[in-house]
Amino acid sequence: MSKLTKKQATELVPALEALYPEAKCALDYDTVFHLLCAVLLSAQTTDVSVNRVTPVLFGRYPEARDIADAPVADLEAILRPVGMYKTKANHLKAMAKVVAEEYNGTVPHDYGKLVALPGVGRKTANVVLAEGFGEQRIAVDTHVFRLANRIGLTEEKDVLRTEEGLMKILPRDHWTPMHHALIFHGRRVCSARKPDCEHCGIRRFCKRNGLPNE
């Protein structure tokens, strides 16, 4: 399999985005802090599961200071349905403590400061910057990583190099929309174990089908 050319990638963008005009962040939130919490909790679980627990979490502990002061056992009880709840409860409490004490309860609009928060990695920081602050960002989750390398947008073995490759080949003003479109396509058509190539709307671009470079 070979990589898509820049021209092919540029043509792929409107084709994929047209398939999913409704594509957007599936996590429910009403503040940037709540978004940060929800994305942190979404690791290795479904957005649906996160959306079930966050109303309880934010109803009881709405602000960073509230979560920072919450008993960890109480946080664990709330987060139990999302999996890895003990680790996530500790990360959530530690992250909230830093936001409350170092940033006066306001999520920092800075990539370096975000990834320095407990439990916050590249993907979480990029989602917060894209959704919370309106920046164009490529957040590479399992769907984006799989599709980018399966389609031929990148040919990389790790998340960081995949992110860097997508930033190079995709138009900057489409980074966030393409992030969402790739996730939707990965969930609905291009699954990990059994991609539905027969009904794929971007099959003509996909290097998995052995299409030659122009």
pLDDT tens profile 129-145: 999 999 999 999 999 99
Of 3, 88, 123, 207, catalytic: 123
Hey, what amino acid is at 138?
A: I
Residue 191 pLDDT > 50, yes or no?
A: yes
Two structure tokens written together for 160 = 């960081």
First to last CA, the chain: 14
Q: Which residues contact 130 (CB under 8 A, 6 or more apart)?
A: 136, 137, 139, 175, 176, 179
Q: Is 124 helix (H, G, I), strand (E, B) or coil?
A: helix
Respond yes or no: is residue 88 known to be catalytic: no
Please state, in angstroms and rounded to a whole number, the distance separating the CA atoms of residues 200 and 188.
10
pLDDT of the residue at 36: 98
Residue 211 pLDDT > 60, yes or no?
A: no
pLDDT of the residue at 207: 85
The 8-class DSSP code of residue 22 comes to T
Domain boundaries, the chain: 6-24+138-209, 32-133
Q: What is the pLDDT of residues 55-108, one digit of tens each?
A: 999 999 999 999 999 999 999 999 999 989 999 999 999 999 999 999 999 999
Split at pLDDT 50, 70, 90, the class of 213 is: very low
Top CATH class, 32-133: mainly alpha
The answer to whether 118 and 91 are in contact (CB under 8 A) is yes
**Mean pLDDT of the chain, nearest integer:** 94
Of 141, 157, 158, 207, catalytic: 141
Respond yes or no: is residue 24 known to be catalytic: no
Please state, in angstroms and rounded to a whole number, the distance separating the CA atoms of residues 212 and 214.
6
Please state, in angstroms and rounded to a whole number, the distance separating the CA atoms of residues 140 and 195.
19
Q: What is the pLDDT of residues 10-46, one digit of tens each?
A: 999 999 999 999 999 999 999 999 999 999 999 989 9
Residue 84's H or E segment, with its range, is: none
Residue 214 pLDDT > 70, yes or no?
A: no
Q: Is 23 helix (H, G, I), strand (E, B) or coil?
A: coil
| CATH placement of domain 6-24+138-209 | 1.10.1670.10
Residue 212 pLDDT > 60, yes or no?
A: no
Please state, in angstroms and rounded to a whole number, the distance separating the CA atoms of residues 90 and 8.
45
HSE-CB of 206 using CA atoms within 13 angstroms: 20
Residue 119 pLDDT > 50, yes or no?
A: yes
Place of tokens 């998340």: 159
pLDDT of the residue at 1: 52
The answer to whether 93 and 87 are in contact (CB under 8 A) is no
